[in-house]
């Protein structure tokens, strides 16, 4: 049944525009953190947001994952105009976003497999329906040998890989990562960003926020710089090497 409400931008989404922000302000309480933001993310592309601490990167990520409403401007995410949308439409869009937090939270005593499968369990799927897909995901992120280990036994880099697998489990259109390499060695950080960037090959849009601008050459991507809540125009980069991420 065709949607006719102004809150749904089906045509924009079908053209591959996953996010379009126009002159958007956002913040918390009396504080405005993001000001005049213009941003676009498309399917099959990687967008890298970099800038100093407290520049607004995390707030920007919260806005994109629909955890923070815009205050003004126009925000269309996954075909939903957030300033006009119903709560149900926003909830539906949230389910199509995969999010990797800076400090991912797990059920520590559960296995890697069960933690990765959690989004599918929450959607009401049965183990027989998702077991093969989850095992493929765990293998894809390089944790095949740790599938049955409790997450509490994983290293920091392995936990980030598990978080990525969990974010991908429900096959999201948009994948967001907030400082996913914090506290890692440079080599592990590059592997994590490369792993996230690979999702562009299956048509997802990827947005990565990080202070570490040395990661900008890990894959072809658009690089945006944010400072004091204002976002610059992007620059396009190419991958500097083809080093394996395993």
The residues spanned by each domain of the chain are: 1-96+174-184+200-246, 103-171
Average pLDDT on 61-82 reads: 95
Summary mean pLDDT of the chain: 92
Instruction: Give the C-alpha separation, 84 to 72, whole Å.
Output: 12
Confidence band of 241 (pLDDT split at 50, 70, 90): low
Res 239: pLDDT: 77
Query: Which of the two residues, 164 and 245, has the higher pLDDT score?
Result: 164
Closest CA to 100 of 40, 16, 157, 17: 157
CA distance 167 to 148: 19
Please report which confidence band the pLDDT of residue 6 belongs to, taking 50, 70 and 90 as the band edges.
Answer: low
CATH class belonging to 1-96+174-184+200-246: alpha beta
First to last CA, the chain: 45
Helix/strand/coil (H/E/C) assignment for every residue in 175-212: EEEECCCCCCCHHHHHHHHHHHHHHHHHCCEEEEEECC
In this prediction, residue 13 carries a pLDDT of 86
Contacts for 33 with CB less than 8 Å, ≥ 6 apart: 26, 27, 56, 59, 229
Reported in sequence order, the residue ranges of the chain that DSSP labels E, i.e. its strands, are 17-28, 31-42, 46-50, 72-77, 80-81, 97-100, 174-178, 205-210, 221-227, 230-231, 235-237
pLDDT band, residue 63 (cuts 50/70/90): very high
Once rounded to an integer, what is the mean pLDDT over residues 123-145? 94
pLDDT band for 243, please (50, 70, 90 cuts).
very low
Mean per-residue pLDDT for 115-138?
94
């Amino acid at each position: 049944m065709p949607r006719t409400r102004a809150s749904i931008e089906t045509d924009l989404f079908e053209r591959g525009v996953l996010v379009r922000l126009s002159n958007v302000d956002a913040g918390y309480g009396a504080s405005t953190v993001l000001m005049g933001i213009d941003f676009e993310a498309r399917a099959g592309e990687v967008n890298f947001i970099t800038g100093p601490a407290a520049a607004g990167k995390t707030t920007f990520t919260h806005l994109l994952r629909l955890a923070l409403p815009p205050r003004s401007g126009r925000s269309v995410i996954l075909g939903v105009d957030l300033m006009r949308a119903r709560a149900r439409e926003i909830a539906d869009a949230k389910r199509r976003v995969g999010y990797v937090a800076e400090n991912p939270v797990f059920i520590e005593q559960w296995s890697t497999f069960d933690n990765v499968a959690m989004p599918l369990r929450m959607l009401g799927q049965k183990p027989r329906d998702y077991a093969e897909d989850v095992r493929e995901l765990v293998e894809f992120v390089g944790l095949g040998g740790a599938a049955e280990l409790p997450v509490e036994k994983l290293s920091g880099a392995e936990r980030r890989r598990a978080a990525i697998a969990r974010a991908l489990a429900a096959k999201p259109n948009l994948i967001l990562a907030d400082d996913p390499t914090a506290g890692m060695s440079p080599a592990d950080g590059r592997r994590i960003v490369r792993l996230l960037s690979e999702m562009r090959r299956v048509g997802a849009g990827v947005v990565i926020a990080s202070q570490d601008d040395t990661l900008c050459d890990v894959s072809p991507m658009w690089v945006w710089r944010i400072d004091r809540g204002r976002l610059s125009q992007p620059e396009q980069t190419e991958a500097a090497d083809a080093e394996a991420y395993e």
